[in-house]
Amino acid sequence: MQHCDVAIVGAGTGGIPAAIEAVQTGARVVLIEQSDRVGGTLHVSAAQMSGAGTRLQRERGIADTPQAHLQDAIRISRGTCDATLVAKATGLGGSTIDWLMELGFDMDPVCPAILHFHEAYLTPRTYWGRDGGRSVLRVLLPLLNAAMARSNATLLLGTEAECLLRDTSGAVTGLRLRNRDGGTSSELYARSVVLASGGYAGNPALFARLTDGAPLYTPALSIASGSGIEMAEAIGARIRGGEHFIPTFAGIEEADGKGRVLWDHLPSLTPQVRPPWELYVGPDGRRFVREDIDSVDARERALMRLPGLTFWTVFDQTACEEAPPLLPGWHTDELADAWTSSPSFATADTIEELARRAGIDPVGLAASVAQYNAALADGAADPLGRLYRPCPITAPPYRAIRMHGIVLKTPAGLAVNTDLNVLDRNGAPIPNLYAIGEAIGGATLSGNSFVGGMSVTPALSFGRWIGQELGRRYA
């Protein structure tokens, strides 16, 4: 039996800074990680962040404030985010970016920028490292290693948290742990427990239950099991946000058909970065959105109306030879193999045959291509108002790639108050239980949209904040 002041479940984006700060302030800390390494999604994510009033902004003459950041987040989310918690996140975001820079963070020199992968901010306040999430991890690891070397800190790798322990009053008193290799269980008693265990995109069954049966295509790691959410739910915690699910536009399923999408193989579908040469069509062969519309939110909402969140990009040989790469992350050999063997890729000498091979309605696709070509030939407006039309789709062989709305962060999570205390189904705080990061749900800070930088930055910020608060309480 082991005792500590603060038990932190999950050594990822939120759990690492929480542990660092709590240890540094003198609390006895146990950091629990189910995998054999720390870092979580930082190993694979782009780790785009946002913050207002940073030194980098001031150096570049960019006027910005946390209040302006908050209002922009409310605008992008159409008022569906938790404005109180977003205010906390935006109030801390700028100092978190400055903290990373003080630690030697390898910031991409174009930052701060306005990024169009998600609906754009009005002010340049988005940041990322030159090596994505690994850039964040590189500056955190020395601090974590130093913290874990102290006598008041313990790191448990390969250890799963099975359930929360409570006393007769309902207050959380610790966790039951299981060594993943040996399978032995033990109890850890803690004065506070912080769930920093991430989302549930690696758990298809939980995703279906919490996200109203939406299809799951994702690059998430299998460790994104939602275990912390389920543990808290088992003792009466309230879960919220699943109704705000919206897909990210978009990705290509791996050939095994199991819903796996590779993060570094995402297509380039942002018109501000790569104007489209393709048509986007649904299963009926009809175009469902203006391909060059500058709002990613509009594209994602149009995709929500398609069955299975599935569409196809359709183009011809001219686009293959002259357009900027649609799949910039694919090696030449990978792409050649995909065209011959992947069920998501189809090619044919006629549009009708292409449709049959791809699984698209042939009549609808032929009509869509003909309408697009005719308007271009006649100098008429595009039927959907598209402005960028570099050439007609007339040069065989014709090609189609099946794509899906994907899940980069899960919407549902544990309800928390501004102290990050987990709430029960009646809205009352569960004593001694806290949650940060994706465990509180992506929709909490983004609502029914994607607000740039409202995943990684708040996880870091809230992790630091709760670590400092609990550290001071128990030091």
CATH of the domain at 300: 3.90.700.10
For residue 76, give every residue at least 6 positions away whose Cβ sits within 8 Å of its Cβ, in sequence order, or none: 118, 119, 121, 297, 446, 449, 450, 451, 452
Question: How deeply is 129 buried, as exposed, middle or buried, from its count of CB atoms within 10 A (0-12, 13-18, 19+)?
Answer: buried
Same-domain pairing of 301 and 328:
yes
Give the pLDDT confidence of 14-28 residue by residue, as tens digits: 999 999 999 999 999
**What is the domain range of residue 232?**
2-241+410-474
One domain for residues 328 and 276: yes
Same domain flag for 78 and 134: yes
Q: Which helix (H) or strand (E) holds 186?
A: strand 185-195
What residue ranges of the chain have pLDDT lower than 70?
Answer: 1
Based on the fold, state whether residues 302 and 165 are members of the same structural domain. Answer: no
Co-location of 227 and 273 in the same domain: no
In degrees rounded to 5, what are phi and psi of residue 235? -105, 15
Q: Judge whether 7 and 177 are in contact, CB under 8 Å.
A: no
Q: Select from 378, 406, 434 the last residue of a domain.
A: 406
> What is the predicted pLDDT for the residue at 223?
87
pLDDT in tens, 130-143: 999 999 999 999 99
Residues 374 and 448 in one domain: no
Residue ranges with strand state E in 196-316: 239-240, 248-251, 279-281, 310-315
Looking at the fold, whether 162 and 231 belong to one and the same domain comes out as: yes
Instruction: Of 194, 260, 184, 142, give the one whose Cα is nearest residue 6.
Output: 194
Neighbours of 381 (CB within 10 A): 10
CA distance 414 to 436: 9
pLDDT at 99: 98
The tokens 């390494």 sit on which residue? Answer: 37
User: How far is it, in rounded angstroms, from Cα 11 to Cα 20?
Assistant: 11
Q: Are residues 383 and 257 in the same domain?
A: yes
Cβ-based neighbour number of residue 365 at 10 Å: 28
**Quick one: 172 and 311 in the same domain?**
no
| Boundary residue ending a domain (349, 375, 406) | 406
Domain end marker among 383, 406, 429 = 406
Query: In 25-168, where does DSSP find H-type helix?
Result: 55-59, 66-76, 83-102, 133-148
Total domains in the chain come to: 2
- Helix/strand/coil for 457: helix
**Do 261 and 310 fall within a single domain?**
yes
Please tell me the predicted confidence (pLDDT) of residue 315: 98
Q: What's 125's domain CATH number?
A: 3.50.50.60
CA dihedral sign, ordered 150, 151, 153, 156: positive
Q: Length of the chain in residues, anyone? A: 475
In 343-451, beta strands by DSSP E: 345-348, 398-406, 413-414, 421-423, 429-435
pLDDT at residue 133, as a whole number: 95
Examine the domain organization and report whether 463 and 449 are in the same domain: yes
Amino acid 402: pLDDT: 98
Predicted TM-score of the model (pTM): 0.95
The two tokens of residue 74 are 């409310």
Residue 420 sits in the same domain as residue 401: no
pLDDT value at position 26? 96
Q: What pLDDT is recorded for position 1?
A: 64
